[in-house]
């Protein structure tokens, strides 16, 4: 070999060593499990599909820090961004009431994901959710308090405890579920949520059904709360039409309903943002999708806690 040619580099001896390399998952948060191979789930009254509608009541501060990133729906222009701030506010003042009417028409209870800041700023809105029999699910302090790896465990625990204290006091509910703002978590988030007494979390989008999630304390349950079938993704992010949104909800349901005939109960989650779907020209799309879903026999419209309580005894 010429003296001018570099010798080939060799890999260190430990390059292929990885203690978590094994069949299944390379972590211990949940078990490796293929949905078609799981035990079939039976919903109450022989229902085939559990319909789970989750509107979000969010508050986006005008002076968002955007750490470590700006969440979907964040302010976009120079401060003060009144154009986007007031549109988000529209959802909490106007759009949510159109959603309420659409769900009431079909007797559908909702699980509403609420920023603690909304309970402080719109206390009557929380009371109206209670009057409708809606479940309150925690959605963090506000949309500028994102959970992430750069946050200390102590600070994150403080945020979770503060959020739950505000929402439990405002609603009088146990508040059993959690959705992180922008679904952003740190490595500590599941442990902190379990320590705070929460029962389920909606940040993980890797399944169509619930599954146990292991923590340093009690187990959590990961509930299916997909991002690809919600109104923001389809209408705002993907720029699809309202008819597209309606048709995608219907197609999503039709597949789950067909699967449930042979594979046991399924869950149809619908994630909604009142400032998006609550617009006058958009609400019809939601109403038509709900009419299609509720026209089928064996559809159980339920809250997240009701679905969890029906599923959990069958999963043990």
What count of Cα atoms within 13 Å lies in the side-chain half-sphere of residue 53? Answer: 28
Residue range(s) defining the domain that contains residue 88: 42-315
**Does residue 89 sit within a domain?**
yes
Q: How many helices (H) and strands (E) does the chain have?
A: 11, 9
How far is residue 41 CA from its own chain's centroid? 21
Average pLDDT in the chain: 95
In-domain check, residue 16? no
For residue 6, is it within any domain? no
Q: Is residue 172 part of a domain?
A: yes
Domain for residue 21, yes or no? no
Asked if 106 and 301 count as a contact pair (C-beta separation under 8 A), the reply is yes
Domain count, the chain: 1
**Token duo for residue 74:** 């964040």
Residues in the chain: 316
pTM (predicted TM-score): 0.93
Does residue 277 belong to any structural domain of this protein?
yes
Structure tokens at 184: 């952003």
Which pLDDT belongs to residue 7?
72
Question: Please, which pLDDT band fits residue 3 given cuts at 50, 70 and 90?
Answer: low
Give the pLDDT confidence score for residue 78 in this predicted structure.
Answer: 94
Q: What does each C-alpha distance from 257 to 46, 47, 71, 98, 153 come to in angstroms? A: 13, 10, 33, 27, 41
CA distance 202 to 186: 14
Residue 1 lies in a domain: no
In a domain, 10, yes or no: no
pLDDT tens per residue across span 4-56: 677 777 888 887 888 888 888 888 899 998 999 999 999 999 999 999 999 99
Tell which residue, 224, 173, 174, 222, has the closest CA to residue 50: 224
Residue 191's CATH number: 3.20.20.370
């Amino acid at each position: 070999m010429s003296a001018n040619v570099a010798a080939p580099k060799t890999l260190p001896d430990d390059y292929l060593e990885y203690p978590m390399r094994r069949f299944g998952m390379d972590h211990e948060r949940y078990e490796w499990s293929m949905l078609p191979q799981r035990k079939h789930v039976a919903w109450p009254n022989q229902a085939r599909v559990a319909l789970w509608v989750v509107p979000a009541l969010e508050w986006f501060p005008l002076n968002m820090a955007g750490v470590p990133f700006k969440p979907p729906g964040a302010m976009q222009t120079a401060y003060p961004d009144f154009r986007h701030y007031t549109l988000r506010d529209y959802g909490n003042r106007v759009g949510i009431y159109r959603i309420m009417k659409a769900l009431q028409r079909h007797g559908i209870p909702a699980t509403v994901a609420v920023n603690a800041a909304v309970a402080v700023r719109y206390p009557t809105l929380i009371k109206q959710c209670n009057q409708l029999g809606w479940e309150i699910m925690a959605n963090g302090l506000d949309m500028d308090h994102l959970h992430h790896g750069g946050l200390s465990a102590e600070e994150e625990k403080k945020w979770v405890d503060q959020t739950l204290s505000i929402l439990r006091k405002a609603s009088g509910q146990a508040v059993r579920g959690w959705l992180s703002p922008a679904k952003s978590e740190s490595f500590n988030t599941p442990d902190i949520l379990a320590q705070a007494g929460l029962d389920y979390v909606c940040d993980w989008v890797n399944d169509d059904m619930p599954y146990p999630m292991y923590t340093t304390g009690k187990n959590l349950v990961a509930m299916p709360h997909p991002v690809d079938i919600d109104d923001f993704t389809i209408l705002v992010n993907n720029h699809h039409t309202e008819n597209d949104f309606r048709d995608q909800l219907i197609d999503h349901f039709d597949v789950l309903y067909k699967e449930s005939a042979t594979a046991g109960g399924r869950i149809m989650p619908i994630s909604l943002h009142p400032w998006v779907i609550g617009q006058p020209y958009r609400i019809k799309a939601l109403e038509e999708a709900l009419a299609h879903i509720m026209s089928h026999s064996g559809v159980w419209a339920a809250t997240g806690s009701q679905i969890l309580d029906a599923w959990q005894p069958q999963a043990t």
